[in-house]
Amino acid sequence: MAETTTRVVIGMDPHKRSVTIEVMDADETVLDGGRFGTDEAGFTAMTDYVSRFGDRVWAIEGCNGIGRHVAVRLLALGEEVVDVPPKLSARARVFSTGQGRKTDATDAHSVALVGTRMAGLRPVVADEELEVLRTLVDRRGWLGEEHTRKVAQLHHLLLELIPGGAKKDLSAAQAKKLLAKVRPRDVAGKARRRVAAELIADLERIYTRKKAADKELAELIRATGSTLLDLNGIGPTGAARLLVDVGDITRFPTRGHFSSWNGTAPIDASSGDHVRHRLSRKGNRQINRTLHIMATVQLRRPSIGRDYFDRKTAAGKSNMEAMRCLKRRLSDLVYKTMLDDLITAKGTGPGGQRDNDSDSSATGSQPHTGSSDKPLPGPARPHPRTPLPTAS
């Protein structure tokens, strides 16, 4: 077949063993599509199938999740790939079909629609440094989850071995001391004690691995030139997660767009004469959690963040509202820090970067009201398109 020169978007609904694609041009006309395996033969057949579309971009749903394995392989071939958030494709599916029922074909169609209509989708890039960080920070997260499960299992056994059980924040060393005082005489009690001792040994090994993982992450983060670890309340895991999930900070035009993406921008919930804002439950929840931990750490001891929180509560805000304001201010600080790191790395000035003012910091000398009380920024502007077609 003759190669086409019109730029097309290839929407993809990825799975572990198969992918469904749909090729769409700029006028939202469906040109082709199909289902392919993700093994070597299927992947080669897919790339050969779309090779006639010379100017093409792949829009893949969930490039930070199930779609990543395919996106990485396409990047290795020099293809252009953008990430389509599942929430956007879900909305497009409802608008294009009139209902939310899913099939692989309708999913691929909705992903292609988002890729065709929306500007500002995050490009997926091949960065080995970030890929190493992604692998290690994911591993560190799994160790944390494993630690939580082991502690829960240990609490369950200690409750049956010791009246009243153990305290909530229990370390392996503390559990070992408690267990040393327990001498059950019945067979069931001895079995519980033996399993509890095995869990304590597991916790000690996990702690050693977590400590080594944190050290390795910290060294890699410093090597990138990032100064996120200098911020009060951000550890190696949080800094690595920010670098991996944010990628290029300049893809956010302003600090307001960044806070909207991470879910710290307040949502206007005013009614009549009662003006108020509420916490957003949307956005990247892992980054939101990193900012929440950052805020919690600053509130535990005297700090500028603590002073800012106290001023908000003294002004009449509830603790939850004050925490929301603090998280938004910390989001601004992280945005400014990552932007400054990028400018330092490039050895250039701000270059007219919008909304890059020096007093956006939450931990600056004089935190004041500002972006923390502003609602979500306006939505990204879609390209003007014809009405949505019915899903094929």
> What tens digit of pLDDT does each residue of 60-96 get?
998 888 899 999 999 999 999 999 988 888 888 887 7
pLDDT value of position 351: 44
Give the separation between CA 270 and CA 261, rounded to whole angstroms: 22
CA–CA distances in Å: residue 106 to residues 111, 135, 162, 390: 9, 32, 56, 9
Q: d(Cα 60, Cα 391) in Å, to the nearest integer?
A: 17
CB neighbour list of residue 198: distance below 8 Å, 6 or more residues apart: none
Residues 330, 315: Cα–Cα separation, whole Å: 19
* Helix 104-117, helix 86-97: angle, nearest 10: 110
Count other C-beta atoms under 10 Å from residue 222's C-beta.
14
pLDDT at 385: 40
**Integer Cα distance of 107 and 391 in angstroms:** 9
Q: So what's the pLDDT on residue 280?
A: 72
- Rounded Cα–Cα distance for residues 385 and 26 (Å): 8
- What's the residue count for the chain? 392
The reported pLDDT for the residue numbered 283 is: 81
Between the CA of residue 20 and those of 11, 83, 106, 112, what are the distances in Å?
8, 16, 10, 11
pLDDT, one tens digit per residue, over 245-260 is 888 898 888 999 899 8
What does each C-alpha distance from 55 to 80, 109, 126 come to in angstroms? 10, 19, 20
Distance CA(104)–CA(102), nearest Å, equals 7
Q: Going residue by residue through the chain, which has 392 residues, state the pLDDT in tens, using 9 for 90 and above.
A: 556 668 899 999 999 999 999 999 988 899 999 999 999 999 999 999 999 998 899 999 988 888 999 999 999 999 999 999 888 888 888 877 666 678 889 999 999 999 998 877 888 888 888 889 999 999 999 999 999 999 999 999 999 999 988 998 899 999 999 999 999 999 999 999 999 999 999 999 999 999 999 999 999 999 999 999 999 999 999 999 999 988 889 888 899 989 988 989 877 777 777 767 666 777 888 999 999 999 999 999 999 999 999 999 999 988 988 998 999 999 999 999 999 999 988 775 444 444 444 443 444 433 444 555 555 555 444 444 433 333 33
Burial of 374 (0-12, 13-18, 19+ CB in 10 A): middle
Which of 30, 143, 17, 4 lies closest to 392 in space, CA to CA?
30
How deeply is 173 buried, as exposed, middle or buried, from its count of CB atoms within 10 A (0-12, 13-18, 19+)? exposed
Instruction: Give phi and psi for 29, each to the nearest 5.
Output: -85, 130
Backbone φ/ψ region at 184: left (φ over 0), alpha (ψ -120 to 50), beta: beta
Q: What would the two tokens of residue 50 be?
A: 């779309």
- For 16-32, letters b (16+ CB in 10 Å) and e give eeebbbbbbbeebebbe
Task: Tally the C-alpha atoms within 13 A of residue 43's C-alpha that lie toward its C-beta.
Answer: 16
Q: Is 281 helix (H, G, I), strand (E, B) or coil?
A: coil
117: left (phi over 0), alpha (psi -120 to 50) or beta: alpha
Gyration radius of the chain over CA positions? 25
CA distances from 325 to 260, 278, 334 (A): 13, 10, 14
Q: How far apart are CA 349 and CA 353, in angstroms?
A: 9
Phi/psi for 28 (5° steps) reads: 65, 25
Encoded tokens for 254:
């302003």
